Amino acid sequence: MVRKIYLFLTAFIAFGSLAVAQNNPGSIKVLLVDEKKEAIPFANVVVYNGTTQVATGTTDIDGYAFIKQLNAGRYDVKAVYVGYQTKTVSGVVVNNDKTTYFTIPMTGGVQLEEVVVKYEQPLIDPNTVSGGTVDRVAFQAMADKSIAGVLSTQAGVYSNGTDLNLRGSRGSGGGAGIDGSSSANNIFIDGERVIGTANVSRQAVQQMSVILGGVPAQYGDVSSGVVSITTRGPQPTWFGGVEGQTSQLTDKYGYNFLGFSLGGPLVMKKDSTGKKPLIGLFLGGEIEYQKDPSPWAKGIYQVNKDKLSQLQSNPLQYDPLSGTYYLAGSYLTSKDLYVSKVRPNVAQRGFRLNPKIDIAVNPNLNITLGGSWDYTTNHTFVYEYSLLNSQHNPQIIQNTMRGYARLTQRFGPSGATEQEKSQSIVFYRPGQLSKVQMGATRRTI
C-alpha cells in the first residue's frame, strides 16, 4: 500500500512538471545590512499577509534571503536577528513573473518597539522583463476599469476601446483578445489561457500585467506580448465591499453597474503562534447594463412611437388612382422623425462572478480552487434595420465558464534554508515548489 502511494505521488509530481500551468508567481530578494553596510548572514526573514505568516527565509553568507513563489499582492516583510532591532518593511509590492529587490538596514541593540518602515518602489526596475503592471491600489484609482482601458495606460500598448494592440500587433476581437502569435489570445487569468471572453469583475482584480519583452518561457510562442491578470484571494480577516454606478440622471445612455466582493476565513486553526486561516473564501461579482455601449456623436433618426405603431398596424396603403398598394413607410416626413441620443435595441447586459477557495492543508501544502463565470448578451446594430426594423437586430449571447485547481507543495520544513530545501528531494532546485495546475473552459455563443 505504501509503495502504491509513493508511485502515485511520483506520477503526480512528474505530471506537474508537464502540466500547462502558466501561472508564475513573484519572488522577493532582500539584503540585510548593518550600520556599516556589511551583510548580516543567517538572519530570519518572515513574509506576512496581514497577520498571517506566508513564507520564511534565511539570509545566506552574503546577507541575501530569496523567497520564491509569492502570489501577486502587497506583503509585510520582517527581519529578525539576535542583537539587532527587529525591523518590518510594510507594503512590499510583489508582481507575477518578477523579483522584488530591496534592502533592510538593521540597527544594533535591542529596543522595546519594533521599527516599521514603508516600502518604496525603485525608479529603475532591475528585472529583464519589460512591460508594465497595475496593482489593485492603482486599479481602484482609475476611471476606466476595463482591461483594455487600464492596460492601454502602459507604454507600447494601444487600445481602440475593445481590443488591445501590443507593440503594433493586431487586435483579435472579443474584448481583450490579443493577436500576434500562433494562438489568437495571449491573455491569461490566474494562469489559464483565455478561451472566450476575458472579462473579470472589478472587485476581483488583484493585479494586471502586460509583458512586452523578455517573455518567460511558460507563455509559449509569443511575438507581441502577453497580458496576465491575477484575481484576489482570501484574507486572514473578513472583508467586503459594494460598488455602484449609474448615469440615469445625467445622460441618455443608460449605464448602470453594481459590483460586490466578500472574503475571509471559513475555518481557523490554532497553533503556537495564534489562529491561522485553514480554509479561506473570496467571492467577487458584478452586474452591468448599458442601453447603448457605443452611441453616435450626433444621434440617430428614429420614427415617432405613434407613427411607428401605425406603420406596424398598416404597413401597406391602397392608392385608388392607380389601383395598387404601396409601402406606407416610403412616405415618411420630417414631422414623423426625431433624433435619438441612443441607437435602438442595442442594449448590453453582463453578469460576472469570480469565486476562489484556498485550503492550507499544512504549512507546506496549499490547494487553490478558483474559476470565473462571464455571461453577456447584446443585440448587434444593423443600420438598415435602425429606422423601422430595430426589433429584429441579431442577438448574441456569450456564456464563458472557467475553472481551475492548483496544488502547491513546498519541499523541506517551513522556514528551511535554501540548502535544506535542495536536500529534501533530489530533482528539484533549491527553493522551488512542485506546482500542478489544471483548468477547463466552457464557452457557448
Give the single-character DSSP code of 430. Answer: T
* 187, 215, 231 - which closes a domain: 231
User: Are residue 280 and residue 351 in the same domain, yes or no?
Assistant: yes
- Residue 308 inside a domain? The answer is yes
Output the nine-digit C-alpha cell for 188: 491569461
Cα separation of 398 and 294, whole Å? 19
User: Are residue 52 and residue 86 in the same domain, yes or no?
Assistant: yes
Least Cα distance to 56 among 48, 64, 119 occurs for 48
* 63, 94, 118 - which closes a domain: 118
Cα separation of 231 and 202, whole Å? 10
Report the pLDDT averaged over residues 235-245. Answer: 88
Cα separation of 174 and 181, whole Å? 16
Say if residue 176's pLDDT is above 80: no
User: Are residue 175 and residue 71 in the same domain, yes or no?
Assistant: no
pLDDT tens-digit series, residues 30-51:
999 998 889 999 999 999 888 7
Cα separation of 238 and 264, whole Å? 4
pLDDT of residue 10: 44
User: Are residue 268 and residue 376 in the same domain, yes or no?
Assistant: yes
pLDDT tens-digit series, residues 85-130:
889 999 898 888 788 899 999 888 766 567 777 777 776 666 656 7
- Residue 125 inside a domain? The answer is no
- Residue 123 inside a domain? The answer is no
Cα separation of 256 and 247, whole Å? 7
User: Are residue 275 and residue 392 in the same domain, yes or no?
Assistant: yes
User: Are residue 78 and residue 53 in the same domain, yes or no?
Assistant: yes
Looking at the DSSP bridge assignments, the partners of residue 179 are: none
User: Are residue 144 and residue 221 in the same domain, yes or no?
Assistant: yes
Q: With left for phi above 0 and alpha for psi between -120 and 50, is residue 279 left, alpha or beta?
A: beta
Cell 512542485, located at residue: 434
Output the nine-digit C-alpha cell for 330: 416610403
pTM of model > 0.85? no
pLDDT of residue 419: 39
- With a pLDDT cut of 70, the percent of the chain lying above it is 78
pLDDT tens-digit series, residues 296-350:
999 999 999 888 888 888 888 888 888 888 888 888 888 999 999 999 999 999 9
pLDDT band of 363, cuts 50, 70, 90: confident
- Residue 124 inside a domain? The answer is no
Do residues 400 and 443 make contact, with C-beta atoms less than 8 angstroms apart? yes
Sign of CA dihedral 420, 424, 425, 426: positive
- Residue 332 inside a domain? The answer is yes
User: Are residue 336 and residue 354 in the same domain, yes or no?
Assistant: no
- Measuring CA to CA, how many Å separate 191 from each of 22, 40, 127, 234? 5, 36, 20, 18
A 10 A CB-CB count for 400 gives 22
Which CATH number goes with the domain that contains 194? 2.170.130.10
- Residue 400 inside a domain? The answer is yes
A 10 A CB-CB count for 348 gives 17
The whole domain housing 54 covers 2-118
User: Are residue 146 and residue 95 in the same domain, yes or no?
Assistant: no
User: Are residue 245 and residue 222 in the same domain, yes or no?
Assistant: no
Residue 109 main-chain phi, psi, to 5 deg: 95, 145
- Residue 153 inside a domain? The answer is yes
Which CATH number goes with the domain that contains 70? 2.60.40.10
Q: What is the secondary structure of 204-243 as a DSSP string?
A: GEEEEEEEEES--GGG-S-SS-EEEEEE----SS-EEEEE
Task: State the chain's mean pLDDT as an integer.
Answer: 78
How many domains does the structure of the chain reveal?
A: 4
Do residues 231 and 189 make contact, with C-beta atoms less than 8 angstroms apart? yes
User: Are residue 151 and residue 182 in the same domain, yes or no?
Assistant: yes
pLDDT tens-digit series, residues 178-229:
333 333 457 888 877 777 677 788 888 888 888 887 777 777 777 778 888 8
Q: Which helix (H) or strand (E) holds 379?
A: strand 365-379
pLDDT band of 435, cuts 50, 70, 90: low
Residue 172 main-chain phi, psi, to 5 deg: -100, 0
Looking at the DSSP bridge assignments, the partners of residue 49 are: 52
User: Are residue 351 and residue 406 in the same domain, yes or no?
Assistant: yes
* SS3 (DSSP) at 181: coil
Output the nine-digit C-alpha cell for 412: 523541506
- Residue 75 inside a domain? The answer is yes
